[in-house]
Amino acid sequence: MNLVLNNQEHQIIDETEVIVFPKRNFIEANTICVDMEHLKNDCTIPVFAKDNECTISHYEFINSTKEVVEDILDYKGVLKPDIRVSHVIKGRVPTAIGKPAKELLDEEKTIYYERCAFVIEVPEISEIINGNKLNLTIGGVRSYNQENLFSKKSMEKFKVFVGFQNTVCTNLCISTDGLKEDVRISSVSELKAKVYELINNYKKKEHLNNLEKMNELCLTEAQFCHLVGKMKLYSHLEKEEKQNLFPLAVNDSQLNIVLRDYNVDPHFSKSENKTINFWKLYNLLTEANKSTYIDSNLERNVNAYAFVNHLAKSIENQSHNWFLH
């Protein structure tokens, strides 16, 4: 992918025609917002127990990704990562052993977060897709629960992605080739190399074309209800029955959010003629995905993209699709 700021190879946006919406979180679940300084100065760094070797911290992960983005784009501005964390791990310094928790002083407490997700938005590289402004976005996920911290130092697992963020709703738009969900590395330099590789291999035009084409196909209300019914039924099928079907990742509680927003979402609800196009359907799914925990959020986001394209190809080719028939 060729990402260039200086010679304006991205689409130029007329700011007078862009409607600004209140900022929303790119993920909800049970997360809280933190900043880089907090991760750098206030959080301890987990180690591998048997050799006391440090893991790569959340701060190092985010800062390394940020440095790669700045280098690739020759970026002269200030990129501010949006960071969400969950599953706080609390501790205390040795001098506070035996002290009641309510009496602990701030300097006697230690914390780190088991799970961390972040996005780095580049507003200078934007596209208008189906009436929505999308900004280029790079980010990642780290979950210490996926590491064996009770052993010796080993390859560490990260997830990194490049795609776009819908400024209307902060929904992430990530394609299959825009996500590396099992990056295994042992150093910060290796991590940077993987981020470089991901960004350079990202098929930006193909991704945007697929997003734009979603606006061309739509479902009637009856077809939408049939689709959601089949999606609900999918989770209750026998394992053998699922083998020949698309591996849908959305769960029942998220489908309930889709059904609610189908009627009330200010941007992606059904049209006045009670139809819904695939762009709106896709955004209903990615909005519902915000309730997914950090450690599986990106995979489910990509699954929503692949699922909508799977439906679209069936309609275009007039081929049988279990979810539609």
Tokens of 41: 């100065």
> What confidence tier does 29 reach under pLDDT thresholds 50, 70, 90?
confident
Domain residue ranges in the chain:
15-204, 217-317
| Nearest partner of 305 among 209, 183, 199, judged by Cα | 209
Contacts of 119 (CB under 8 A, 6+ apart): 26, 81, 82, 137, 138, 139, 165, 172
Q: Cα–Cα distances in Å, from 134 out to 179, 194, 241, 287?
A: 17, 24, 38, 15
Whole-number pLDDT of residue 2: 57
Q: Which residues pair with 142 in a beta bridge?
A: 116
Average confidence (pLDDT) over 53-76: 95
Q: Does residue 70 register a pLDDT over 90?
A: yes
DSSP conformation class of 242? H
Q: Is 82 helix (H, G, I), strand (E, B) or coil?
A: strand
| Nearest partner of 298 among 69, 156, 115, 132, judged by Cα | 115
**Chain segment 246-302, per-residue pLDDT in tens:** 999 999 999 999 999 999 999 999 999 999 999 999 999 999 999 999 999 999 999
**Chain segment 287-318, per-residue pLDDT in tens:** 999 999 999 999 999 999 999 999 999 999 99
Least confident of 14-18, 108-112, 177-181: 14-18
Q: Please name the amino acid found at residue 108.
A: E
Tokens 């940077």, residue located: 192
- What's the CA angle centered on 46, arms 42 and 48, to 5 degrees? 165
- What's the CA angle centered on 147, arms 200 and 109, to 5 degrees? 110
Average confidence (pLDDT) over 87-108: 91
Least confident of 1-15, 189-203, 289-303, 307-321: 1-15
| φ/ψ of residue 162, rounded to 5 | -135, 135
* Dihedral over Cα of 281, 248, 31, 83: its sign: negative
Q: The whole model's pTM is what?
A: 0.89
Q: Is 137 helix (H, G, I), strand (E, B) or coil?
A: strand
> What confidence tier does 231 reach under pLDDT thresholds 50, 70, 90?
very high
